[in-house]
């Protein structure tokens, strides 16, 4: 992303006049996506459960002249999630980002961990997309205005990996949801795609990379030789929701440094 003070004029921003929602926006990939969308001209609503993270993220966006609003909500609380999205003044773009992972051997996966990942990565993502589409369809000019959803997937939505059975399960589900939504919502001019990153440097992955064996294993499998940065993923999201991707729907944009090309 651009350095503070070097943002493009609003007249050149591809998302000017659009309203965006990002879930899991308090930090990591969600925060990077919110910043990039605001930089591209959108008014962004940042949804997360931790108010202090939201305050920090919103302040950072406002400091460079972006338009941002906090929306404190736990996406696993279906009622609160639906009310929060229904209360937005309008919606053109939705980034379905909230999710987590609990790496562990298949035979050790507890029902609690299984339910937790399915509840956040799949159920909450489904309901968030459903609420977002209902909000988008309220716009009287939707047939001409269009809309865009990006679901946060993973390279693990395209491959398998030891110790990540439940995570792979949930991300393959997201890929299926993306395709089905793209087909169903096309008549409403709402495009639906996914972004599938490789391992990125985020607060969620930081503890993993403190283990040298794991870090070496990951780096050895990325042909470009580096981890993804949040800005790499955010740039892909901005592209997919912009007019430049107007004919792209139902696909997954792999931001994986070549991992899945092997």
Other C-beta atoms closer than 10 Å to the C-beta of 187 total 8
Res. 203 pLDDT band, cuts 50 70 90: confident
Nearest Cα to Cα of residue 177 among 125, 223, 218: 125
Q: Which are the contacts of 211, defined by CB distance < 8 A and separation ≥ 6?
A: none
Q: Which are the contacts of 191, defined by CB distance < 8 A and separation ≥ 6?
A: 146, 147, 148, 149, 182, 185, 240, 245, 246, 248, 249
Q: Which are the contacts of 212, defined by CB distance < 8 A and separation ≥ 6?
A: none
14-255 CATH, one of 3.40.50.620, 3.40.50.2300, 3.40.50.720, 1.10.3720.10: 3.40.50.720
User: What is the DSSP secondary structure assignment for residue 85, as one 8-state letter?
Assistant: H
Q: Does 96 score more than 80 pLDDT?
A: yes
Instruction: State which H helix or E strand residue 166 sits in.
Output: helix 165-185
Assign 94 to helix, strand or coil: strand
Res. 142 pLDDT band, cuts 50 70 90: confident
| pLDDT: which is higher, 118 or 202 | 118
The phi, psi pair for 71, rounded to 5°, reads -140, 95
pLDDT at 204: 80
Assign 159 to helix, strand or coil: coil
pLDDT at 2: 46
Q: What's the mean per-residue pLDDT of the chain?
A: 95
Q: Does 7 score more than 80 pLDDT?
A: no
pLDDT at 91: 98
Q: Which are the contacts of 14, defined by CB distance < 8 A and separation ≥ 6?
A: 40, 41, 238, 242, 243, 244
Q: How far is CA 113 from each of CA 48, 99, 121, 167, 184, rounded to the nearest angstrom?
A: 21, 13, 12, 10, 32
- Indicate the pTM of the whole model: 0.93
Average the pLDDT over 36-48 and give the result: 98
The phi, psi pair for 83, rounded to 5°, reads -65, -40
Q: What percent of the chain has pLDDT over 90?
A: 90
Weakest mean pLDDT among 39-43, 103-107, 139-143: 139-143
Average the pLDDT over 101-122 and give the result: 98
Q: Which residues are catalytic?
A: 167, 171
Contacts 24+ apart (CB under 8 A), 245-248: 245/148, 245/191, 245/193, 246/146, 246/191, 248/191, 248/193
Weakest mean pLDDT among 89-93, 112-116, 203-207, 236-240: 203-207
Q: Does 257 score more than 90 pLDDT?
A: yes
Average the pLDDT over 92-102 and give the result: 97
Instruction: Give Dmax over CA atoms of the chain in angstroms.
Output: 55
Res. 5 pLDDT band, cuts 50 70 90: very low
Q: Does 6 score more than 90 pLDDT?
A: no
Average the pLDDT over 34-58 and give the result: 98
What would the two tokens of residue 152 be?
């946060």
Res. 206 pLDDT band, cuts 50 70 90: confident
């Amino acid at each position: 992303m651009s350095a503070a003070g070097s943002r493009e004029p609003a007249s050149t921003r591809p998302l000017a006049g659009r309203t965006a929602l990002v879930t899991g926006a308090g930090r990591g990939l969600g925060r990077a996506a919110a910043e990039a969308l605001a930089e591209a001209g959108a008014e962004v609503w940042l949804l997360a459960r931790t108010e202090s993270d939201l305050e920090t993220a919103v302040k950072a966006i406002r400091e460079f002249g972006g338009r941002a609003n906090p929306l404190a909500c736990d996406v696993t609380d279906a009622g609160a999630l639906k009310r929060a999205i229904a209360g937005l003044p309008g919606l053109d773009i939705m980034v379905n980002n909230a999710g987590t992972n609990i790496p562990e051997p298949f035979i050790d996966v507890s029902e609690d961990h299984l339910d937790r990942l399915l509840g956040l990565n799949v159920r909450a993502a489904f309901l968030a997309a459903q609420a977002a589409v209902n909000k988008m369809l309220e716009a009287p000019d939707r047939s001409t205005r269009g809309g865009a959803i990006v679901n946060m997937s993973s390279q693990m939505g395209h491959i398998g990996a030891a110790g990540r059975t439940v995570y792979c399960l949930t991300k393959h589900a997201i890929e299926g949801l993306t395709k089905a939504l793209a087909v169903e919502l096309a008549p409403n001019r709402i495009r639906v795609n996914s972004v599938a990153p490789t391992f990125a440097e985020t607060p969620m992955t930081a503890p993993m990379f403190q283990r040298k064996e794991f870090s070496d294993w990951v780096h050895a499998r990325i042909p470009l030789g580096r981890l993804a940065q949040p800005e790499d993923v955010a740039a892909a999201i901005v592209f997919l929701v912009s007019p430049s991707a107007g004919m792209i729907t139902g696909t997954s944009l792999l931001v994986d440094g070549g991992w899945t090309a092997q």
